[in-house]
Amino acid sequence: MATKSIADWVTSLSYSSLPPEAIQAATRSFYNWAGCTVGGSNHPAATIAQKALSRFFGAPTSSLLGSQGTQVDAQHAAILNGIASHVHDYDDTHLETIIHPTGPVASALLSFAESLDRPVSGAEFITALVAGIEVECKCGLAVWPSHYDVGWHITSTTGSIGAAVAVSKLLNLTSEQTAHAIGIAATQVTGLREMFGSHTKSFHPGRAAQNGLMAAVLASEGYTSSLEALEAKRGWVNVVESHDQLDDMVASFGKENCWEIVKNSFKPFPCGIVVHPIIDGCISLHSELRQRGISYEQIEDVQVTVHHLVLELTGKTKPRDGLEAKFSVYHGGAVGLLFGKATPAQYEDAVVNEPNVLKVRAKLHATGDSSIRPDECHIVLKLREREVLEKHVDHAVGSVKSPMTDDQLTEKFLDQCISVVGLEKAKKASEWCWNLDTRNDIRDIKDIL
Amino acid sequence: MATKSIADWVTSLSYSSLPPEAIQAATRSFYNWAGCTVGGSNHPAATIAQKALSRFFGAPTSSLLGSQGTQVDAQHAAILNGIASHVHDYDDTHLETIIHPTGPVASALLSFAESLDRPVSGAEFITALVAGIEVECKCGLAVWPSHYDVGWHITSTTGSIGAAVAVSKLLNLTSEQTAHAIGIAATQVTGLREMFGSHTKSFHPGRAAQNGLMAAVLASEGYTSSLEALEAKRGWVNVVESHDQLDDMVASFGKENCWEIVKNSFKPFPCGIVVHPIIDGCISLHSELRQRGISYEQIEDVQVTVHHLVLELTGKTKPRDGLEAKFSVYHGGAVGLLFGKATPAQYEDAVVNEPNVLKVRAKLHATGDSSIRPDECHIVLKLREREVLEKHVDHAVGSVKSPMTDDQLTEKFLDQCISVVGLEKAKKASEWCWNLDTRNDIRDIKDIL
């Protein structure tokens, strides 16, 4: 009954039933997503896809964020915004599952909302966004961690389902139609981890957005699927990794302290989240060295102790370009030490191959330790004169225990948007997005971003 | 190196290197696919999808078969023709993997060929079709049977890859681009068996066609994926079911007696292929009863001994409609006994619920036997007067050992097309499709079907 129970929960969800912290989390999630999407819109993964798919574009109803007015059909807007939102690996993270939840859901939802011939209020939009993200993350919890371990990109495999739920909610589908939409989405299992480091990684949340959008639209016209799509013997959970957490997950919907969106976190650095503690620590060490007037050339050796997943996911010692550098704990640490920051600029191909960066990168060595949490790390830096500096990061900035403030999110948003749309437009967009909950019509975004 | 080896094989394949039996098999596969697509075009699974997705249609370049001239963009033509081709479960079968190979590949290939602004000869089309079907079936062999057992709809999971290969071939992609296309397709693992019996089953080959088409188009513009998408630790084969047949499969490309398309078979009955021996036997028994003037009302009991997969896949004793009846060995046997045939007409909802059909269906009992092959069955029919008739089917009609003749395929094609496009057009289309290899421009199909 899991699928039907979830569909019932989704159809009964209302804005007034959302706890304030879920509304706040949804606003922050949308805000961060919008900035990342604009910031990623001119990356080759987004522009190549736009060029390649342009021959198929339908009637323009939905905005490509950051394009200053370009509209395409809602399906292609969902894919292309979804790609852009994830391409810098700068989007949000539900840490318990390492799902990037907003990309698939918001990309589908905004694109579809814009295509409607009626106003969509901020409150309605937030309700659908929360519904989608809750279902996405609970499905992720039901199969975590074996689903990810075996090789699925959990962001998109669950993202298709979350996107279907969000669009179903916006379409006011019945519970049965919503269950069919979940089924049509669940059968499209998109995303292998093998693609990490290539354009296809960011294709995953884009395609997931479009999978879910299509599923909801088909279900709205009576297309049928299974009403037990998630829990059946050969349904989603059992096929994508056999687990028995589905019922627990279903029982937790809407319960106090069980809102997944509230656990959503935002990245201060545009790379795999497991690298963040190391960057955080290296930025602190950069400041210390700088204050004391010590050049990076004095660094002899840097030993970093990390959670074992850090090496598994980001063990690339010699990244060749910006995309690969996102999966290199060594690059993350090196730019932290060298520049005292890690923004998209430090992940440009030219920087990844800069001689100084290569020099510092080669001095970093990482060791896995099972007693270290994923948001923790310990760094021991040796200088040539045998002096040793140590830095322990307990909870990396951006983690649940040390969240980015609204001001930090604003700074990140403006940094991403200014180079694409200019300062004035970026500021206006920032103000518009922060006030999502009071917007009368979300479709106004076409004049904003 | 499997992915790259396959891509090399695909790029080096030429029409002149195809053995005559592969060309003949490709023609029969295309012919059967075209008839099934026209025949399925007015089924609700196809018409609902067309209506739901129409809001997204792009510039009309590609035909919806059977629609008498309606064109949509190539992506949507691929999905919609793919759905129609499979909805009656009447399409072809590669028996070693029970893949329905032509649906995903031909739906993508024809839709994309029509969208090109240059002629596409029948020979070029056949070469791309063979390339796609070979790769699709070899990938299926690499993961069969565990992949299917766990719950994947192997037609669409491999179909995405086959479609990507076929469109890549038509686009004359380099070997590296083709490998990227394979990767982008492989990451879209579409199709759970749980959806069998609903509209979503036929969505699978449709979506697979579009997955592959999109993958090839993205790769043609430089979109990157993994070059080890199939064989890597977290690549397709290992994630969708760990097996070690990939290298054997790669080594067999193009070898004598190793052309998968030659093993393709065609269905005389529009339902799960494992039911065919039972229908075949029941039709024979129908003739015998009729010749002797014995009414079906004299039937007291029918015991059928079958391969174990028959009960697993088609054990529905009380199907509620035509789609469910396709998964009922009891319905197949009953219409064979009652009407002496099993065409789409015997799978209409009204027939499935007809009192006489229900009566005969209730008299059938099936037992699995591990000594029986999938294309074999044994039937023991008891009459009220205690007389017993027996029928042993060694190789069901339509199996590799007892293939449908070209004349039988023509009869099936006309039966499917006449009610949709009329006799004259059906005959003209039949002649056009049979002579696929000598066509100067495949795009002419828009005036044919």
For residue A398, tell me if it sits in a domain.
Answer: no
Q: Is residue B98 part of a domain?
A: yes
Query: Residue A267 to residues A7, A32, A198, A224, B233: CA-CA distances in angstroms?
Result: 31, 9, 20, 39, 28
Q: Hey, is the C-beta of B315 within 8 angstroms of any chain A C-beta?
A: no
Minimal Cβ distance to A48: which of B194, B222, B236: B222
Using a CB–CB cutoff of 8 Å, tell me whether B383 touches chain A: no
List the 387-426 stretch of B: residues with Cβ below 8 A of A: none
* Domain shared by B263 and B279, yes or no: no
Q: What is the mean pLDDT of residues B195-199?
A: 93
CB contact under 8 A, B58 and A73: yes
pTM metric for this prediction: 0.92
Helix (H, G, I), strand (E, B) or coil at B196: coil
The predicted complex's ipTM stands at: 0.92
Measured between CA atoms, the residue of chain B closest to residue A43 is: B223
CB of A61 within 8 A of CB of A115? yes
Q: Mark whether A104 and A217 lie in a shared domain.
A: yes
Residues B256 and B372 in one domain: no
Same domain, A277 and A262: no
Cα of B52 to nearest chain A Cα, Å: 6
For residues B175-212, one letter each, b for 16 or more C-beta atoms within 10 angstroms of the residue's C-beta and e for the rest, the string is bebbbbbbbbbbbbbbbbbbbbbbbbbbbbbbbbbbbb
B48, B59, B187 ranked by CB distance to A190: nearest: B187
Please determine, for residue A319, whether its predicted confidence score (pLDDT) is greater than 90: yes
Q: In whole angstroms, what is the distance from residue A37 CA to residue A85 CA?
A: 4
Query: For residue A384, what pLDDT is reported?
Result: 92
pLDDT in tens, A89-135: 999 999 889 999 999 999 999 999 999 999 999 999 999 999 999 99
Distance between CA atoms of residues A91 and A98, nearest Å: 11
Sign of the Cα pseudo-torsion (B399, B401, B407, B408, in order): negative
Same domain, B262 and B342: no
Residue A400 placed within a domain: no
The per-type count for chain A, helices as H runs and strands as E runs, is 20, 9
- A226 is written with which tokens? 């299974």
On whether residue B400 sits in a domain, the answer given is no
Q: Does B442 map to a domain?
A: yes
Residue A304 has pLDDT above 80, yes or no: yes
Distances (CA, A) of B299 to A83, B285, B304, B359, B384: 62, 11, 14, 10, 6
State the average pLDDT over residues A16-25: 95
Q: Could you tell me which chain B residue has the CA closest to the CA of A56? A: B58
B82 in reach of chain A (CB within 8 A): no
Give yes or no: residues B314 and B243 share one domain. no
Whether a cis peptide bond, with omega within 30° of 0, leads into B145 is yes
Q: Are residues B114 and B158 in the same domain?
A: yes
In a domain, A399, yes or no: no
Which of A192, A327, A349 is most worth mutating to test chain B (most B CB atoms within 10 A of its CB)?
A192
CATH number for position B41: 1.10.4100.10
Task: Note the pLDDT tens digit of each residue in B372-388.
Answer: 998 899 999 999 988 99
- Interface test mutation site (partner B, options A195, A246, A323, A327, max chain B beta carbons within 10 A): A195
User: Given an 8 Å threshold on Cβ–Cβ distance, is B198 in contact with A183?
Assistant: yes
Give the pLDDT mean for A387-404: 92
A150 and A263 assigned to the same domain = yes
User: B53 and A198: CB-CB below 8 Å?
Assistant: no
Q: Are both B57 and B204 inside the same structural domain?
A: yes
| Cα separation, A440 vs A122, whole angstroms | 6
Q: Do A187 and B195 touch (CB under 8 A)?
A: yes
- Of A393, A415, A437, which residue sits at a domain end? A393
Pick from A58, A193, A229: CB nearest B58: A58
- B204 and B339 inside one domain: no
In A, minimum Cα distance to B50 occurs at A218
Cα–Cα distance measured from residue A283 to residue B85, given in angstroms and rounded to the nearest whole number:
59
Domain boundary among the residues A355, A372, A393 is at A393
Per the listing, tokens 């479709």 go with A443
H or E element that contains B190: strand B188-190
The reply to whether A237 falls in a domain is yes
Kindly identify which residue of chain A lies nearest to residue B211, measuring between CA atoms.
A207
Cβ distance of A223 and B49 shorter than 8 Å: yes
Q: Is A77 on the interface with B (CB under 8 A)?
A: no
If one counts the domains in chain B, the total is: 2
In tens, the pLDDT along B34-59 reads: 999 999 999 999 999 999 999 999 99
In a domain, B300, yes or no: yes
- Domain extent, residue B283, equals 273-393
User: Residue B228: its chain A contacts at CB < 8 A?
Assistant: 194
Contact A53 B218 (CB under 8 A): yes
Tens digit of each residue's pLDDT (9 = 90 or more) over B262-299? 989 999 999 988 999 999 999 999 999 999 999 999 99
Q: Do B122 and B239 sit in the same domain of this protein?
A: yes
Q: A382 and A277, same structural domain?
A: yes
Which of B210, B248, B199 is CA-nearest to residue B78? B210
Report, as an integer, the average pLDDT of A67-76: 95
With beta carbons less than 8 A apart as the criterion, state whether A173 and A218 touch.
no
Residues of B in contact with A48 (CB under 8 A): 218, 221-223
A222/B48 Cβ within 8 A: yes
CATH number at residue A297: 3.30.1330.120
> A243 pLDDT exceeds 70?
no
Per CB-CB distance under 8 Å, the chain B contacts of A58 are: 55-58, 73
Query: A238 and chain B: CB distance < 8 Å anywhere?
Result: yes
